[in-house]
Amino acid sequence: MSSTLDNIRHAAAPHGLNLVAATPVARYDNQPAVTEISRASAIDPHARSIVVIGNGGGALWDALKAHAARHPRWWDRANPLDEFTREVVERDVAGPLRASGARCTTVYPFMNSGRTLNFIELGKVAGVAGPSILGVTVHPVFGPWIAFRAALLLDEELDSPGDALGFDPCPRCTARTCIPACPAGAVSSDSGWDIPKCLTHRVEVEADCAPRCHARAGCVLGPEHRYPDDELAYHQMRALRSMRPYYDSHLKPKLSPSSD
């Protein structure tokens, strides 16, 4: 095990960032689904490996609430969770690496400008998470209660995949309790997540899914690691906020001109 990876895990864990794995840049860049703009080598040509940092379960949310209790205005920020993630990664994870002389470029899935990585593909090749029919990735232990939070592009060769390498549970699942749990009927074993159907229901019948995604909560994997209720509501609120503009532009029924 690389001492660099040990140090990253040790620095990230107190903040609830408990999923850490590494893959060589070439393995990720050569994936068919990774376009040129999303290649690690396009972001940092000197990078040799990518360390993926994520969270499983509610530990990150607990760390955020503890941080917000010490900084009372934190919840007033536009993106409290993303800004907390960036702060602890830059200060406690990437900062010490740079101080030791290592080259470290940080990339976040919530970046609004500039290049970013295809975190779904990155998570697969690094063994952090596998695919699912729910529209979210899943982990053997934490189930769908995970998220990608950051990636570090390093000039050191690292290859340490996580427990989800090759994990693809949905084709073998017989319970499939996630499918009937969706009130919009937006999940199926054949076509997976029907985004327009889900999005339309979320916007038009807002109260149905405001507390949680029922399909995600219906997954048989990792139910004991389900996010706390206040975290679920936070993510659902933010997702709905981003869905509304797309619905208005692409899915909202157009009123036909009235005839005289």
- pLDDT, average across residues 124-149: 97
List, for residues 167-206, the tens digit of each pLDDT value: 999 999 999 999 999 999 999 999 999 999 999 999 999 8
- Average pLDDT on 45-56 reads 98
The matching CATH number, chosen from 1.20.1080, 3.40.50, 3.30.70, 3.40.109, for 3-154 is 3.40.109
Beta strands (DSSP E) in 99-221 are 104-107, 146-154, 187-188, 192-193
Q: pLDDT digit string (tens) for 216-254?
A: 999 999 999 999 999 999 999 999 999 999 999 999 987
Q: At what angle do helices 59-70 and 80-88 cross, to 10 degrees?
A: 90
Is the model's pLDDT at 60 over the cut of 60? yes
Query: In angstroms, what CA-CA distances link 106 with 40, 100, 176?
Result: 11, 16, 37
pLDDT band at 258; cut points 50, 70, 90: low
Q: pLDDT at position 114, please?
A: 76
Please list, in sequence order, all residues whose beta carbon lies within 8 angstroms of the beta carbon of residue 258, skipping any fewer than 6 positions away: none
Q: How confident is the model at residue 257 (pLDDT cuts 50, 70, 90)?
A: low
- The pLDDT of residue 111 is 73
pLDDT in tens, 109-123: 987 777 899 999 999
Domain segments of the chain: what residues? 3-154, 173-250
Number of neighbouring beta carbons within 10 Å of residue 96: 15
The answer to whether the CB of 118 falls within 8 A of the CB of 128 is: no
Query: Whole-prediction pTM value?
Result: 0.93
Average pLDDT over residues 98-104: 95
Express as a percent the part of the chain with pLDDT over 90: 93
pLDDT at 108: 96
Per residue in 141-156, pLDDT (tens digit) is 999 999 999 999 999 9
Per-residue model confidence (pLDDT) at position 254: 77
